[in-house]
Amino acid sequence: MDDEQDKKNLKKCFKDMIEAIHETIEQLRPTEQQLQASTIDIHSFTLDKSEDTAIDLLKVKLMEMLNNYVRRLSGICRNYLFKFLQQYDYDENMRNFTSSFNMDTLDPFARDLEAALASIDAFAAAYKGSKDPVLEFLNKYPTLKDKPGLYGTTLLYSAARNNHEVLVRYLIESAQCAINAQNQQQLEDVLQTHVESTYKQINPSSGSTALHGACYNGHLKIVQYLIKRGADYFIRNQIQETPIMNGQRHGNIREFFEKFLILGYSTTAKTLPEKPISERPENNTFDCIWEYKSVSNPQWSQFSDDESKELSEALIISPDEEMQRTIYLGVPPNTFSVSIVDFVRSGINRDPNNQRAWVRCRGSSIFNYDCYARWQIMLLKHTGIQTASPASWNITDIPAVYDSKFQVQLNCWYNCTNKINARLDDAINYRRKQMNMELQFLKDDFDFDLQEFTLQNSDKTVSGCIRWIPKLIANDERYRNKIHEIDNYQNLSHVQPIPLTTKRLREVSKMSPTKPSTKLDDDFKEEDENDEDLTPRTFLNGNVDEDSLDETNKEYIELFNIYIEDKKKLLIDQCILGDLTTIKAELEKQTDSFIKDKPLITEIEPLKYQTLEKFIEQNITHQRNHYEKKPSPKAVSVLDTFIKQLKEDFKTNQKFTGLHAKHFALDLLDKVNQNTVTTISTSTGSGKSTLLPALLAAEGYDKIIVTQPRRLPCTLICQRVNETMTSVKDPFSEKLAGWAVSGAERNPRAKILYVTDGLLKERLLYDENFITHNTQLNKSIIFFIDEVHERSVNIDHCLALLARMLSINPALKSKMKIIISSATLDSSVPDLFRKIKQVSLTEFVMPQMGTIHPITKYSRKNENILNIVQELYQKRRRHDQILCFVSSVKDVNECCSLLKTITGGVIIAYPLIQSQQASTQKEYIENGSVFFSTTVAETSLTFPQLRYVIDTGMINIPVYDPESKRTVLQEDRAAESTIKQRLGRLGRTQPGEYYSLYDFEVEEKKYPTPQICQSDLTNIEFALRKSPLKQGLHHMKQFFPDSPPNKTIDQTVKTLRLLGILKAAPSEDFTKHGEALAKLPDFGSLAMSKCILSALQNNSCGRDLIYLSSILSVLNTSALLKSIPEHLKSSDGDFMTLFNVMREILLVKQSVPDNQFNLQYVCQVKGLSAIHHILRQALRRYVSLERSFNSLVEYRAQSQITSGDWPSIAKSLLAGYYENVFISLKEIYGRNHHYVQYDSTEQNIVVLDSQSTLA
């Protein structure tokens, strides 16, 4: 087919799809308030059947269109269409969309189609060098600036390969295109894990960058420009070619690289390098020049070849060797020594005054010795220094920040800052001869010659030399499993120094306790929490016979069908008359009668006894035949007596009776049916979160929305419900339950939907049409608010918003019902709904269920928890597990470490904390015996053989002080509801013992203090005011079960005025700054919103801050920073390290087709497996934010600008966190890693986190 005709058909396809989507959007057009809140993803599911129907019709219409157009497309255009549709789950083989649309996806879908349509002409314009069409395109659709177009190439590549210098400069300097963005390629290619024989089609441009294109076509000026702007000349395309390789066929390009790159020190390579030094293969040769310089001689002199060899060999140290700190060289009478620690040569004949000299090795420390470098600078000339000071053998640190007392001297070494060190390391790694860098302490830019190890400024008034000394770490026994850096110039008499090598760093990184999964699935679309199993392991081999159970189930269903068919025949007259009410009531009555006369439990009980007999036969009777020594008659008699007692106990003991729907008796369902609000108080394990929603679905309610406090329970409980409630007749039928959390969902149209309370809060707050008089329902919607005893801010928000909804619109009680479920319920919650007119409330207290196994309580007031752990460890049986509850993550880690030290490694305790991967927690629980945990183990985790719980009875609570404007963690006693949750972990799989270490009476504090009464309300107040409510907490406080104090609310409003967000009193309106903030997506923090706005408006680093906000919003521990590979760590600190990680992942994602991107595989190859679970959530968050900014015309382009510049990013962060500035005390008091808060009335001193990349 003609290429132009093909493109016309593709354009027509896009236009028709856009038109169809816009028609549906107009049909379902939200109100103006909703349009203003469109940057918040809240429409992931709907309660209105008409909306579902309209979207389903759209889906069918789009599939019909695609089937029609696909037949008319060929080659490139067809592939481009399919690749585009992959992001919306289109299966090109089945020719259908495998997931449903919703109102959150329709607008982005239409915009993406419009962008794809416009890209066809824009990318052609870039190929021809036409700047204006490209500029217009990028103003409208900046998200495509680094992504491949129709022919798989980026805009920058197209311009560079065709020598369009003006357009190249515009794309980099104005449009801020990523200079190393690659053309489309396969995932294996971008990760360089391909197997050459697997290539189906070799395309030289696949994976190429703009520099590849310019080098291949010999465009020298563009090559020089791109490299000056930071282009990577070692990056590889699909066929493993670097830009250097592409350019070697052009003499001018080859000559440029020969002059630009270091080809050797002691030897000169005949060919251009193919890799940076860090990727070199191991070698046994040295390429360096050892030199020395005395104080009186400005020139460096070379050591002899033999001396150089000895010095080099001294830096190659085996793991079992000690470092030879001093090397003795020369022949008497001219002997001398060289310190390998600080690179100093003694005087001749060891006379310190006889030509003592400095030493350096000109060459790469990594290439030659695999060791990291600590760089130093010496100034030999400075016209600004009037009097030359004598040479100093003392080493001085270059100040990291401005120091008015610092004075420059000649002829002494200065230790470089981390930033200068990193820049020099990077330049040496990339084999650059020259680099330019600003030295702030000299207030000038300097040219560094890395071939000669010299530096000078542009007017040559200041010059000097550079060198590196080996970065040392302690190699003592206590430091063998970690990196402990030491100062080369400290007293080393009590420490064993050794150079820090890349090999040692890799070995230590592998010792991380976090073991990544080897399963390679597409985690970007799936929750690996789904792999969790709620069912406890039993270690028994005699499970219930599934065939017998299935047969019994089928027989029971058959009996019911026969019974109900007979009863239906009696209702023929009512059917004819259309009396549906009588028919429904009679069928319900007959169903209840059948269940009462023939309960299912009586059919199943015999199977339990058969299973016990089978277990005894398999595990006891048959085992006798395999004993080497036959049991005595007495032993057999004792065993038979025991078995007889066990069988009798199994039949008569109530605890062995199966749990079933009797807990939720018909009167509970009747109460729900007859009242608007129902409160349920019930114990853990009663089935309130699993069985009750299923019974409500069977009652015919349109949708049951069940909230959970965290993401993990949503997915786990949903999985459990679907596993236990699958239709026997059709196991592949539509699942009963689905889940939705921020940024992810599965089966959101299910009858039962498990959501986080935060997601429901956002929906209730921002979507006024969530449920209205016009919502089409068969019966009503149930809002099931679970785990209310936690009294989190989100839970109280949900209760308040539902109460407000019923207060201002009582007629909605016909459309909705509310169930409030809790282990223990504070009276303030039901009282909130009792005072609402025309709303009926009922309370249901479920009888406390006994545990399957007995629990014995022991009081050990104020005893040491580690002593009790050791005591129980001695008496436990082999598989018994011990769970300890402490107040903080710090206590968790300290207890695990101390226990190992105290017991000499005999007892290994495992930490269980919120920040871990679900797979890591599961692995620890399956293999461990002793655990220390915070609140995460109270509900979400199941222990297969838990026998002991030790409870300190304490928790850490964040409490906000409105006067000091600080939130601090305070240790407080746990409420009775929390103690019950911890106690409830026992008795599930075996008898348990509970050890309480607290000395307070549990009943004295029945409920925890609601978080909203002790939290910073600034974010909440701002969110309420920017929502369709347009009112803050002074209005909403009447709807909260426990409202925050008026004084705190007043202080919050005052803070918003001081921040320039609200106008001066008495006005309640936003300022222009406040209006700008209100338009942004929700970042969960007003401070972060201010950072983002500053980045967008003032600092040209919008995408940088969006990267950071995405990962910071899900990163709840700094412990994972240490596991990040060294090449991604930044000398500028943790923020830039996290930025590097996000950029690394997203660069891969944007250059491969959507259906190929596999985050877990990418993390495994990139060395990021330990933080894979964090990155999965961060990436979802980023995709959601990018979609939101794409709908904001004023910030669409700015949100795609990446600078990678730490000063710009730091300025943006200060816009929101200006009160969190801390000054190092190192220069003031010599205290490393200690900082004092800047501009604070109190002397708030903090210690740098040991996990920080700056530590």
CA distance 1029 to 1026: 8
Q: Single out the residue of 1155, 1124, 1182, 1167 nearest to residue 191, CA to CA.
A: 1167
Answer yes or no: is pLDDT of 539 > 50: no
CA distance 884 to 902: 17
Residue 900: its pLDDT value, please? 92
Condensed to tens digits (0 to 9), the pLDDT of residues 555-590 reads 666 677 777 777 666 666 666 666 666 666 677 677
**What is the chain's Cα-based Rg?**
35
Write down the mean pLDDT value for the chain: 83
CA distance 1088 to 1094: 10
Question: Where residue 616 falls among pLDDT bands split at 50, 70, 90?
Answer: low
Question: Where residue 603 falls among pLDDT bands split at 50, 70, 90?
Answer: low
Answer yes or no: is pLDDT of 1052 > 60: yes
Domain 663-845 has CATH 3.40.50.300: yes
pLDDT over 90 percentage in the chain: 47
**Is the bond preceding residue 142 a cis peptide, omega within 30 degrees?**
no
* Span 725-749, average pLDDT: 75
Taking the C-alpha atoms of 134, 137, 140 and 145 in order, what is their torsion angle to the nearest 10 degrees? -70
Question: Where residue 481 falls among pLDDT bands split at 50, 70, 90?
Answer: confident
Question: Where residue 387 falls among pLDDT bands split at 50, 70, 90?
Answer: low
Condensed to tens digits (0 to 9), the pLDDT of residues 119-139 reads 999 999 999 999 999 999 999
Hey, which residues does 950 pair with through a beta bridge?
884, 995
Condensed to tens digits (0 to 9), the pLDDT of residues 192-247 reads 665 554 445 567 789 999 999 999 999 999 999 999 999 999 999 988 899 999 99
- Between 642 and 540, name the one with better pLDDT: 642
Condensed to tens digits (0 to 9), the pLDDT of residues 924-960 reads 888 899 999 988 666 667 788 999 999 999 998 888 8
Answer yes or no: is pLDDT of 1233 > 60: yes
Condensed to tens digits (0 to 9), the pLDDT of residues 979-1012 reads 888 888 888 788 999 999 999 998 888 888 899 9
Q: Single out the residue of 721, 760, 723 nearest to residue 737, CA to CA.
A: 721
Q: What are phi and psi of 1066, to 5 degrees?
A: -90, 5
CA distance 736 to 750: 6
* Span 1027-1053, average pLDDT: 93
Question: Where residue 172 falls among pLDDT bands split at 50, 70, 90?
Answer: very high
Buried residues in 639-654 as b, exposed as e (16+ CB within 10 A): eeeeeeeeeeeeeeee
Question: Where residue 922 falls among pLDDT bands split at 50, 70, 90?
Answer: confident
Q: In the chain, where are the structural domains located?
A: 1-33+45-117, 145-260, 289-508, 663-845, 855-1009, 1080-1220
Condensed to tens digits (0 to 9), the pLDDT of residues 1073-1119 reads 999 999 999 898 899 999 999 999 999 999 999 999 999 988 877 77
Answer yes or no: is pLDDT of 915 > 80: no
Question: Where residue 709 falls among pLDDT bands split at 50, 70, 90?
Answer: confident
Residue 331: its pLDDT value, please? 74
Residue 187: its pLDDT value, please? 80
Residue 554: its pLDDT value, please? 63
Answer yes or no: is pLDDT of 333 > 50: yes
Answer yes or no: is pLDDT of 472 > 90: yes
Common-topology check for domains 145-260 and 855-1009 = no
Q: Locate the DSSP E strands across 428-481.
A: 434-439, 444-449, 454-457, 462-470, 472-474
* Span 609-617, average pLDDT: 60
Domain 855-1009: which CATH class? alpha beta
Residue 532: its pLDDT value, please? 35
Answer yes or no: is pLDDT of 654 > 60: no
Spatial contact of 707 and 755, defined as CB atoms under 8 Å apart: yes
Residue 801: its pLDDT value, please? 96
Burial of 81 from C-beta contacts in 10 A (0-12 / 13-18 / 19+): buried
Answer yes or no: is pLDDT of 976 > 90: no
Residue 615: its pLDDT value, please? 58
Residue 228: its pLDDT value, please? 94
Answer yes or no: is pLDDT of 534 > 60: no
Residue 42: its pLDDT value, please? 60
Fold for 145-260, please state it.
Answer: 1.25.40
**Which stretch of 238-252, 842-856, 1035-1049 has the lowest confidence by average pLDDT?**
842-856
Q: Most confidently modeled of 68-77, 387-396, 601-610, 769-778?
A: 68-77
CA distance 1106 to 1128: 18
Q: How many residues does the chain have?
A: 1255
Helices marked H in 1167-1219: 1172-1190, 1206-1217
Answer yes or no: is pLDDT of 530 > 50: no
End-to-end CA distance of the chain: 62
User: The tokens of 335 are what?
Assistant: 């002997």
- Between 1087 and 618, name the one with better pLDDT: 1087
CA distance 276 to 407: 37
Answer yes or no: is pLDDT of 545 > 60: no
Residue 660: its pLDDT value, please? 44
* Span 518-529, average pLDDT: 37
Q: What are phi and psi of 961, to 5 degrees?
A: -105, 110
Answer yes or no: is pLDDT of 40 > 60: no
Residue 52: its pLDDT value, please? 86
Condensed to tens digits (0 to 9), the pLDDT of residues 409-424 reads 899 999 999 889 999 9
Residue 716: its pLDDT value, please? 84
* Span 91-109, average pLDDT: 87
Residue type, 233: Y
